Each structure stands twice: as C-alpha cells, then as structure tokens.
Amino acid sequence: MAEKSFKYVIVGGGVAAGYAAREFAKQGVKPGELAIISKEAVAPYERPALSKAYLFPEGTARLPGFHVCVGSGGERLLPEWYTEKGISLVLSTEIVKADLASKTLISAAGETFKYQILIIATGSTVIRLSDFGVQGADAKNIFYLREIDEADELVKAIKAKKNGKAVVVGGGYIGLELSAALRINNFDVSMVFPEPWCMPRLFTAGIAAFYEGYYAKKGIKIIKGTVAVGFGTNGDGEVTNVKLRDGRVLEADIVVVGVGGKPLTTLFKDHVDEEKGGIKTDAFFKTSVPDVYAVGDVATFPMKLYGETRRVEHVDHARKSAEQAVKAIFASEQGKSISEYDYLPYFYSRSFDLSWQFYGDNVGETVLFGDSSPESPNHKFGSYWVKDGKVVGAFLESGTAEENNAIAKVARVQPPVSSLDQLAAEGLIFASKI
C-alpha cells in the first residue's frame, strides 16, 4: 500500500482531536499538512451527548448536531469543514503499531502513515465485566457506552424492549446519567454499585444523599454494597437477569455497565515515559520523545495549581489540553514561548432537571450549604472543601451561570476561611464576595 506522509498526525478521533484541529486551523495549518486518524467512522463529536440527549425519547440529539466544537459554544465542525481546511480525516482506521523512532504508524489494514510531529489523543476505553471474568458478561443486550456505535445499539434495544426492566451496573457518571435516561424512556430501572454511596470519587455522603433520594423519588431502585457476579440468558443469548454477590437476582431486559475507563496507551508502551497510568508530559504536553505530544485522558501532566502531576479524564481537559499542545507546537516552530498549562479541575453532569458543576480539589473538610433535601421544590445546594484553612474546591447544584462562575473563582483563588460554621451559613454569599 502507498505510504502517506503528513507534517502533523493526530492519532484518535475524539473530542481532543476535534479541538486540536480547530486550533491547527486558527494557527494557520496549510492544506495537506494535518491528518486525524480515527477508528470511528464519523468526524469528531462531543462524547458527553451519548449518555444524555442521544438516548432521550424526545428532543433527541443526533449527528451532525453535536460534532465538535458545539460543546463549548463554538462553531460546529462538520465533515466538510475538514475538507475546506485541507485536513485529512482518515476514518474507520485503527492504528495497530507505532514506531516512534522512524516516525511511522501502521494501520490494521497495513497502511503506513509517516509524520513529523505526532499528537497522541487516543482517550480511554471502558472497563468490561469480561475483564474480571464475570460469568455471562458476553450476553446480548449488555451494553457499554463510549462510542456512537454503542449508543446506536443501546437505542435499538430501548425501542425493542419498550417499557422493560433495566439494570445499570455502576454508580458513577455513566450510572447516574444512564439511569436517568432509561427512566425517562419509561424503563423500570435498578442501579447497582459496591460503594456506600453514588459517585464516591467526588460526592460526599451529604451530596450523594440528595441524588439518591431524588432518583428514588423518580422510581429508580438503588442497590448499594454489592456487585454483579453473573448473568442469566434466554435461548437467543439475550440477558434475562443479573445475579448479585449478595444472592439477589434482578430481572433485566437491558443491562448497561459503567464501571470506569482506562487510558489507551498500549500502542506507546516502552516508547514513552509513563506516570500514574498515563503518558508523562510537561506543561506543554510534550512527552519524553521529541516531536511527540499526548493530550486528554492519556496525559499525566503537571497540575500547576496543586504542585503535583495528575491524569484527568474529562471532556473539559480534553478540549483545553489539545488546544495547549497545538499552541505549543506552533510557538516552538516560531521560536516563541507560551504560558504553562494552568488547569482548574472542572466536572459537571446533567440528569432529569438537575445540573451540577464542581471546580477545584475535593480534599480536606467539607461544608454542605443550601437546601439539600430531595423533597425540596428548589434543589439548590452546594459544598465547599477546606484544606489548611483555605477553600480548595466548590460544588453547586442548579446554579446560574453567574453562580457557577463564582464557585470556579473560589476554587482558583483559594480564599482563607476562619470558621466552617460561618462558611456553611454564608453558602453562596461567600463565593459571590470573592
């Protein structure tokens, strides 16, 4: 097969690739210089839509509606946009070998791609129950949600099993958002997770109590402290039930699993330095190999705000790290310098009529403020995290744009606080004064 050669190549076709492409265009990339190689069949899109409006019975999201960069309020980059800019979108192509010494990538079909500068944007893949050897985990109608093809399969099953029973395995982001989407589709939903409360990596017990109460009011059964250990199937190989470690058996027409992800770094093992499960980079997303950058979920980078290296799996960081790497590439070519990446951790979620945002670090003591009763008609409440006498993190449910900006500022500025009781009494007023 003919060898294809580009000045810049992005491996991976997710959110980071799309935002990098937009930045390349802003920086004046010339036609023919840039290629994006993606194993997906479609141009980069905003992945968060898959666990939200994509699954709704009404007001449904479909491509081309959520191609990047609409998620951050930018122009939608349709497939034609890449053509107009002279950017090669190499779709349905999986890279299976990377030789960084000879700057060569080889696809599953045997195509060879040469590059001068490489951006690794391979993202994460889901952890599967079969990885743990769970019996029956390969049954039909057990779904994972990472890519649009998987979302399409789930939509088909939702229609085929109308008003059926769904079991959601996992109580994190995916678990909470998909339980809500399935309930909106009139499924009888049970959510199963081993931890003492939902979203344990971020939520405190106080925050989680609100969401669990709210979900219960919506008719979702929450089963904590146990895990799925097996699945029953019918003659067609479709799942019929979920066996739990505590002995319970839940009927199921559909099972959706959201038990976490892992960064896709296998291609580059032993080629680049790794740290904390990701590819180690500097504040410009350069790796240990010259002319190779890593962005998004796969990058372990210096978190300037906290003086330590971290890996962040979130769409916001995918967007911003991609832009930073491209700016750094062009600055380096022009003999200029840019500021170091100074990221403020940001997470958000939307389900039912709820919408929360979190900024900063969730370490130290916590202060819950506002009305966090699931029975309340006005569910506005939040939490601060206080470490060494300073507010280092802030969470808010149902905030206005202005209020969300205020908690972001608090997390960035880290103002001192003298009394936790006073902070609880002031609540949002504290943030608005910063």
pLDDT tens digits along 398-433:
999 999 999 999 999 999 999 999 999 999 999 999
Nearest to 407 by CA among 364, 356, 366: 356
Which residues fall within 8 angstroms of residue 182, CB to CB, at 6 or more apart? 55, 158, 166, 168, 189, 254, 256
**Beta carbons within 10 angstroms of residue 232's beta carbon:** 16
Q: Is the pLDDT at 1 greater than 80, yes or no?
A: no
Of 24, 103, 17, 5, nearest to 333 by C-alpha is 24
Quick one: pLDDT band at residue 59, thresholds 50, 70, 90?
A: confident
Phi-psi region of 247 (alpha: psi -120 to 50; beta: other; left: phi over 0): left
Altogether, the residues listed in the chain come to a count of: 434
Residue range 361-386: mean pLDDT, rounded: 95
Closest to 434 in 3D by CA, of 417, 411, 409: 409
pLDDT at 11 over 80: yes
Judge whether 47 and 154 are in contact, CB under 8 Å.
no
Using omega within 30 degrees of 0 as the cis cutoff, is the peptide bond preceding 64 cis? yes
Domain boundaries, the chain: 3-125+262-333, 129-259, 353-432
Spatial contact of 6 and 21, defined as CB atoms under 8 Å apart? no
Give the pLDDT score at 75. Answer: 95
Q: Could you report the per-residue pLDDT of 238-293, keeping only the tens digit for each?
A: 999 999 999 999 999 999 999 999 999 999 999 999 999 999 999 999 999 999 99
Give residue 327's pLDDT: 98
Helix-strand-coil percent breakdown of the chain, rounded to 5?
30, 30, 40
What region does 127 belong to: left with phi over 0, alpha with psi -120 to 50, or beta? beta
Instruction: Determine phi and psi for 178, rounding to 5 degrees.
Output: -75, -35
Looking at residue 194, its pLDDT comes to: 97
Strands 381-387 and 390-397: antiparallel
pLDDT > 90? residue 331: yes
Which residue has 């989407």 as its token pair?
A: 181
CATH class of the 129-259 domain in this structure:
alpha beta
- Asked whether 258 and 146 are in contact (CB, 8 A), the reply is no
Distance CA 410, CA 430 (A): 9
Distances in whole angstroms, Cα of residue 112 to Cα of each of 9, 171, 272, 319, 399: 12, 42, 21, 28, 50
Count the Cβ atoms, other than its own, within 10 Å of residue 267: 18
Strand order in the sheet with 228-233: 228-233, 239-244, 249-251
Average pLDDT of the residues in 145-159: 97
Q: pLDDT confidence of 163, banded at 50, 70, 90?
A: very high
For residue 13, what pLDDT is reported? 98
Same fold flag, 129-259 and 353-432 = no
pLDDT tens for each residue of 62-119: 999 999 999 999 999 999 999 999 999 999 999 999 999 999 999 999 999 999 999 9
The per-residue pLDDT of the chain, averaged, comes to 97
Pick the CATH number of 353-432 from 3.40.50.200, 3.30.390.30, 3.40.50.2300, 3.40.47.10: 3.30.390.30
Q: Which pLDDT tens digit goes with each residue over 168-216?
A: 999 999 999 999 999 999 999 999 999 999 999 999 999 999 999 999 9
Please give the angle made by the CA atoms of 355, 358 and 363, to the nearest 5 degrees. Answer: 145
- Write down the CATH number for the domain with range 3-125+262-333: 3.50.50.60
Q: What is the pLDDT of residue 377?
A: 86
Percent pLDDT > 70 in the chain is 100
Under the banding of pLDDT at 50, 70 and 90, the label for residue 336 is very high
Cα–Cα dist 125/65, whole Å: 24
State the pLDDT at residue 100.
Answer: 98
CA distance 126 to 96: 18
pLDDT, residue 378, reads: 84
DSSP-assigned beta bridge partners for residue 262: 125
